[in-house]
Amino acid sequence: MSGPIRYSGGKYVSETKTAGDRPAVLLGFKDGDLIQEFGYDDDVDFALRDDLEDVTGSELLDEEDQEVVDAVLFWWREGEGDLVDALVDSLTTLDEGGVVWVMTPKAGRDGHVAPADIQEAAPTAGLKLTTSAQVSEEWSATRLVTTRF
C-alpha cells in the first residue's frame, strides 16, 4: 500500500483515496455532468454535495432550474408526500438515458424510508430500480433509470 496507512478493525487501511473511492465517482458522475437537486434541506450530506460539485465541475442545479440534466439527486424523507408524484415531477428536465439517485435517511434515522416504498413507487413513475450504493454515513442511495424506449 502506498500513502498514509492506519490500523483499523484488525487490518491496515490506506488513507489515500483514489478517484474510484470518491462518492461522486461511485455514483457514476464525471466532469461535465449536470445534476439537478430536489429536496434540499439542512440535513443533507454536505460532503457528498461538495464532492458532486467538485467531480462534475459545476454547482448542483435547484428545483427551479429548467436546463436538461444528466441526473437528478433526490433527497427524500418519510412523510414528505407522494413519492410517485415527486419522482414524476423530477423527470421533466432529465435527459434521455439520465439517472435518478434517491437519497433516503438510513434505517434508524429520522425520516427513514423503507426500500419497499421506493421499489413500489418507481414503476408507477416510469422508473426502474437498478442498484443501491453506500456513499454517505447518514443517507442510503438508490439508483433509478427511466423505462422509456
User: How do residues 85-135 score in pLDDT, each as one tens digit?
Assistant: 999 999 999 999 999 999 999 999 999 999 999 999 999 999 999 999 988
**Does residue 12 register a pLDDT over 60?**
no
Q: What's the pLDDT score for residue 21? A: 72
The fold adopted by the segment(s) 22-146 is Rossmann fold (3.40.50)
> Bridge-partner residues for 141, per DSSP?
103, 133
Extract the C-alpha cell encoding 67: 436546463
- pLDDT score of 72 more than 80: yes
Provide the whole-model pTM.
0.84
pLDDT band, residue 147 (cuts 50/70/90): confident
